[in-house]
Chain A
Amino acid sequence: MDSKQYAEYIDKHGPRTNEWLTLLTAFGVGGLICMIGQAFSDVYKAVLPEAPKAMIGSLTSATMIFLGAFLTGVGIYDKIGSVAGAGSIIPITGFANSIASPAMEFRKEGIVFGLMAKMFVIAGPVIVTGIVSSVTVGFIYWVVAMIAA
């Protein structure tokens, strides 16, 4: 058997993800996290009726980030993630988890070379992509505005 035939065997007989099940749980848990976020947003709106919309958004994001980091700290978020997959990775709570978990893991190597140096090993690509795309979009916006003027 050569490696090509072996790859075909693995493809045919190898364990497969039950896509419908993982999609549904990801959708369910992801949706639930968003509903919790929406609930916080509604509560803040009710409590602070004078506050601008941006402030309500920032307060909601901060609360969800806190919750994500807190649940990571008490060892619950990884259990949610093992069932929900992308459903708990994509929301902002997942972003908090991706920063809090390496911070906890690498704390043993010290504050500077452990925690601080490795805090963004998972979230780093997200931050880089965010910055690069915002600069790119900003540049395009600026060029379009110049041409329009």
Chain B
Amino acid sequence: MRKGKHTYKADEDIYVAGTYSIVGPTEGKGRFGCFFDDVLENDEWECKSHEKAEIKMHKHAIEQVIARADKQRGDIDCIIGGDLLNQLVASSFAVREFEIPFVGVYSACASFGEAMSLAMFMLGRGNMRTAVCCTGSHYGAVERQFRYPLELGTQPTPASQYTVTGAGSVLLSLEGKQGTPKLTHCTIGKIVDYNVCDPNNMGAAMAPAAADTILTHLKDTGRGEDYYDYIFTGDLGKFGRETVYYLCKKEGYDLSGCLNDCGSLIYTDKQKDVQGGSGAGCSSVIFASYIYKEMCEGNMKRVLLVPTGALLSKDSSLQGESIPGIAHAVAFEV
């Protein structure tokens, strides 16, 4: 059901029936190490390339989430997946053997929000009953596609972020137990471009889009800044998070009590002195581990997840294009 301008409410109860997160060793040593379901010993995971390792992570995350929700492959009506690689090779190659209908999505690092929003529209009203959303990224695979070879001796700028190695999957179902988080609303974000051209400062490029989506969601639903226990943006980094806070404050919303960012939290301060993590796997692994578990235990009751994406390619930046940002919001309640 439509709410306001760009927000939609789920007509039926959509339960998060299960989640699964798998991350690389660096993320495993980070702030949420004990929350992740699986931590790899090395980035390669016995594969010949980082791309193959990412495919394996996606496949493993989908297999495990189906098993954890006590479902069979035949019960799943659709898999919605996304990643950062060209032609979505990681997520689409991962579901080759599943024989389950597949929808590939791309909103860069906001793909998880896009996948969950689409799932909300697809489930219920006599349509689908169960869907799996899975997004991920791999540091090695993303670096070579968007930046430089791994062994090149470059210096990270203070505004740069480190791509998360990991895949997070969520099984959404119309059947669920009481006390399980429910997907209640989604707000489809607009492309917002404030003419930021620095590919090393993606937090600045994405922050206006995140602020726009959060404000649209709050206005559409008529909710105040204190409605949600936490608003988690995807991968804005420390400076991006401060910028969203500033932009929202200018519009009269004080998010100081609830705004946080998955990217700026995933690593400890000692691990990375840059802005934090990024990537399509950043928000999905944090949601599938920390946020989901905290919600199940009742420590968080209302959460707004706002994965954020910077829509650039290596060539678009070289051709002088600015970096448009996008953010989709999905609301969960216990």
A positions within 8 Å CB-CB of B: 1, 3, 6-7, 9-10, 13-18, 22, 72-73, 75, 77-86, 88-89, 94, 97-98, 100-102, 104-106, 108, 122
List, in ascending order, chain B residues with CB within 8 A of A108's CB: 48-49
Do A89 and B149 touch across chains, with their CB atoms under 8 A apart? no
Q: Is B153 an interface residue (CB 8 A)?
A: yes
The listed residue (B48, B144, B239) touching A15 by CB distance below 8 A is B239
| Residues in A neighbouring B238, C-beta threshold 8 A | 15
Q: CB distance B151 to A101 under 8 Å?
A: yes
Residue of B nearest to A77 (CB): B153
Whether A97 contacts B151 by the Cβ 8 Å rule is yes
A104 partner residues in chain B, CB cutoff 8 A = 149, 151
* CB-CB nearest in chain B for A81: B153
**B155 near A81: Cβ-Cβ < 8 Å:** yes
What's the Cα separation between A16 and B275 when bound, in Å? 12
Q: Knowing A14-B239, A15-B239, A122-B148 touch, does A9 contact B246 (C-beta < 8 A)?
A: yes
Docked CA distance A65–B293 (Å): 52
- The interface size bin for chain B is 20 to 34
CB <8 Å contact, A72 and B208: no
User: Please, which residues of chain B bring their CB within 8 A of the CB of A88?
Assistant: 153
Quick one: given A15-B239, A106-B149, are A85 and B195 in contact (CB under 8 Å)? no
Residue contact B151 to A75, C-beta cutoff 8 Å = yes
User: Can you name the residue of chain B whose Cβ is closest to the Cβ of A16?
Assistant: B158
Q: What per-residue 1/0 map shows which CB atoms of B166-205 lie under 8 Å from chain A? A: 0000000000000000000000000001111000010010
Q: Is the interface of B mostly helix, strand, loop or mixed?
A: loop
Interface of chain B residues 105 through 161 with chain A (CB within 8 A): 144, 148-159
Q: A105 to B150, alpha carbons, bound, how many Å?
A: 7
Q: Is the CB of B152 within 8 A of A98?
A: yes
Q: Which of A6, A86, A104 has the most CB of B within 10 A?
A: A6
Contacts of A9 in B (CB 8 A): 243, 246
Bound complex: CA of A101 vs CA of B140, how far in Å? Answer: 13
* Contact status of A6 and B153, CB under 8 A, knowing A13-B242, A15-B239: no
Residues in B with CB closer than 8 Å to A15 are 157-159, 201, 238-239, 275
Nearest first, the 4 A-B pairs at minimum CB distance are A81-B153, A105-B149, A85-B155, A15-B158
Contact A3 B195 (CB under 8 A): yes
Q: How far is the CA of A13 from the CA of B250 in the complex (A)?
A: 16
